[in-house]
Every structure is written in structure tokens, then in C-alpha cells.
Amino acid sequence: MRAWLRIYSLQVPALMLATLLSWPWLTPSPLWAAETASNITAVHSKPLPYDRWYQTDRTYMAALLQEYKGNSRALTKILVREWYQITVALRSALSECYREPVRQYLVYDAPASGKIHVLSLAKYYREKVLSDLLVGIYPTREYPDRWRSNPAGIPSFVSNGFSPAAQPPDFGVDDVVAVVNDFDLPPGALRGLSFYILPFNLTGYAGSSHTRLLPGREESIYLSAGINKESPPLAVTIAHELGHYIHYQYIGSYEQDPVKWRSFMNLIGQDDFQVSSSRFEDNTEEHFAEYFRMVYGSAAARGGSRFRTSAPNPLYRPDLFNCFKRMVEGLVSQSGPSYYDVNNMWISGVDYRGQRFSFPVGVRTEQINTVVTTSPYLDFSSSVILNPEDPFNPLVACFRFDPKAVLVDYSTPRVDRGYIGCRITLPRPGIYTLFVGETDGSRNILTPMSFKIIYIGNL
């Protein structure tokens, strides 16, 4: 075991970026009752709609922590059992999406998104409590507030959080699919992109898109429940957010690819890349998203709202219109680098009952990005999207931070028929971080994704 691996590119790409299409909403309205179709059965014996399940779980957890004060071992056992029940329910909710057969993007309806949000928060809370117990602290932390921004659940933009919707969204999966399939893009351009129709609103925003700027397709777009009822309409929001997806996936950050960004900036006559702190009207990424909306959007997507940047509107400039279209076609037609298929990565092991488990893992906060284990052995596996011209050297490394990074295990698995797999052995109970990335033979772990592992030890 060599203790020299360095998690190199964490400084930039691991930073989660959020870009949002902002539009003032009307004032928040009372919460609508969730549909019974969104029932959750995990932990609490009676099936409950996701919002009532959240309240029940929150109340239950407060009582449980009181009841088991001074009995950490018994509490740990209960929480591990519940963590597995919740994670199985989350795995099932994450699979409840429409997979577009040709373009291979995913759409979650509002009940599925609601379930995913509260299950992810309940799972995260148990992970925090278990982590406290593991280091000998009796937990006093608060249950996560579902309306606020949290390190788990559906991501919100900075501190704005979420607000209740006056009524269920009046658009569904079919409406999203109809809008998305209207875009004249190559069939593979949107592969792996996830859309979430939310049962609540992103406070102050119609939609948001997230990326970690990884080579894989880990982007997602979140749509407020109130779209259509209040301006802007669905087509406008989707067109704008798809523009963000295109630059996230096919260009990356300005630092990652200044040449490609420069060609867009030359087109709009902008000298300096304007970052997200700048005004919406001047922000380079917003310029790109609005250009995409104008050039690729339907009449509804173009017309629902004014062009919101200080750049010249391509609708009135055929030269700019055609130039942007050629640029996007060029970006999308280039094959990306080889990388993990981020929609097909798994961590498996043996659970507290001695039964085998396998969870799909993902880097987004609403996905399963932390695994609790009572066994020291975990297996990581993933399918890989290969670019034949591009070497791919996977590296999977496990660290403990106490507080300095200590490498405890690593593996450089070979790609076999489009798959990689490796075993990670944990030396003793504790909290670990699993980095999954690439190696160029140097000390650096390149383009890493990270997953947390909480190894409880024998119950």
C-alpha cells in the first residue's frame, strides 16, 4: 500500500455548481396534499404520503434519540437497520422514472421527486447520527429541514431553499418529454441527463440545473411545481436549462476549456468570461443558455419571455444564429473522453443480517452517495463509456481523514468488456471517503467522484 496518492483535481471539479433561471414568482401559497401514489412504507409500519412520512420520521427520530440516551449500542443497531430500509426505498424511488427510449434521458414525476427528497434527508440524518455515535458523541443534531438547502436531498440554490406549491404541477412527464424531444439535437446528446418535476417550488426560481463538471453525464435539471401557472412557461424554462446542460457537458468550466468558451465569447463580443457572481444579463453561462433557447427553442420557448442578456439576440442576426448552431453541433458531435457511466455505478457488500446488498451510487445529493456497512469488505463496480482513441486507467482509492488524509486501500482495476470492478477492504470501524477516478501514472487522482463510507463494525 503506497500512501502517496493525491486527490488532485478536487479543488475545482468537486465544487458543485448551480445555475438558475430566475423569475420572480407570486407569493408562496399553502401546501397541497401529496397524492397517495407517493406512499412510503420504510421504517414506519403504515404507508404514508411522502410529506406525512417526513413529519412522522422527524417526530419519531426526536423521540428515539431521547429514549436511547445512554444506550448508544442499541441505538446504533436500530439506526443501521433503518438506514438499510430507507436506502432500499430510495433505490426503488430512484428507479421510478421514465427513461426516454431513443434519447436516453430520465424524467421523474412529482411524487417520485417528493419521495426521493424526504428519503434522502432521512437517510442522511441517520448517517450523521451514526457518525456521531461512532466517534463517541451522543447526537444532538437537528433533523434536516426539508424546505432548506441541505447536503442531501434535492439540491436548492444557495440559501433560497424550497417553498410549498399552491397545487400539484399542471404538467407531467409527457409534457416534459414533448418539449425535450422537440429540440433538434443528435439522439445521444442528452443521454444520462435527469429531469425532476418537483412537487414544490425552488424559491424564486422556475428551474435549476446542476453539474459537477465531470466527464460523465451527471447533470440534472429541476423544475418548480408552479411552472405554467406563473410565468415563465415550461418550454422557456426547459430550453434555457438545456442550454446550461450543453455547456456543462460539452465545454465544462472556463478553466477546463478556455478555447471553446472563447469561441462563444467571440461570437457575442464579450472579452472577459463573466462568472456566476455577475449580473444575469452579463453572465457568460446565462448568455449561452439564452442563445441556446433562441436558436434551438420552439416558438413557445423563444416567445414566452424576452431574451434576457446584454448580447445581441440571434433571432435578429442570422449570421450569429447559424454560427451558434454550427458551434453546438460541433461540440455535441465530438466524442467525449472515456469515463465511468455515472448512471451505472454500484457499491455492494453484506448487510447487518449477512445478506448481500447492492446499491446504485451517484454523485448528486439526492442519490445514494454514502454507504453504511457492518462488514469491512465493499465492492465497487461500474460500466464504462469508452472512447477507443482515449486511454482509460481507472483508479479507486479509499481514504480516512483524521484530519490528514490517510490512504487505506486502493485499486487500479482493468476494464473488462466495458466494466470495472474492485474490492475495498476497510482496516477498522470509522468514516472513509472512496474516490473513484483516473490515474495518469502520477500521484494524482484525476476527475474524481467521492462517496462516503461509514463502517460501523460488528453490531
Residues forming contacts to Zn ion in the complex (CB under 5 A) are 19, 21, 286, 289
Question: φ and ψ at 436, to 5 degrees?
Answer: -120, 115
Q: Please, what is the minimum distance in Å from the beta carbon of residue 307 to Zn ion?
A: 13
Q: Please, what is the minimum distance in Å from the beta carbon of residue 363 to Zn ion?
A: 21
Q: Please, what is the minimum distance in Å from the beta carbon of residue 20 to Zn ion?
A: 6
Q: Please, what is the minimum distance in Å from the beta carbon of residue 241 to Zn ion?
A: 7
Question: φ and ψ at 50, to 5 degrees?
Answer: -60, -35
* Beta carbon nearer to Zn ion, 236 or 371: 236
| Cα distance between residue 252 and residue 218, in whole Å | 12
* Beta carbon nearer to Zn ion, 175 or 241: 241
Q: Please, what is the minimum distance in Å from the beta carbon of residue 220 to Zn ion?
A: 14
Q: Residues near 208 by Cβ (< 8 Å), separated by ≥ 6?
A: 18, 19, 20, 21, 155, 156, 157, 202, 221, 222, 241
* Beta carbon nearer to Zn ion, 246 or 396: 246
Q: Are strands 377-385 and 419-425 parallel, antiparallel or unpaired?
A: antiparallel
- Residue 129: HSE in the Cβ half-sphere, 13 Å Cα cutoff: 28
* Beta carbon nearer to Zn ion, 18 or 93: 18
Q: Residues near 189 by Cβ (< 8 Å), separated by ≥ 6?
A: 103, 246, 332
* Beta carbon nearer to Zn ion, 216 or 232: 232
The residue type at 434: L
Grid coordinates of 341: 457511466
Whether the upstream peptide bond of residue 232 has omega within 30° of 0, thus cis, is yes
Question: At which residue does the C-alpha cell 420552439 appear?
Answer: 298
Q: Please, what is the minimum distance in Å from the beta carbon of residue 165 to Zn ion?
A: 21
Q: Please, what is the minimum distance in Å from the beta carbon of residue 208 to Zn ion?
A: 8
Rounded (to 5) percent helix, strand, coil in the chain: 35, 25, 45
Question: At which residue does the C-alpha cell 435549476 appear?
Answer: 208
* Beta carbon nearer to Zn ion, 206 or 347: 206
* Beta carbon nearer to Zn ion, 286 or 438: 286
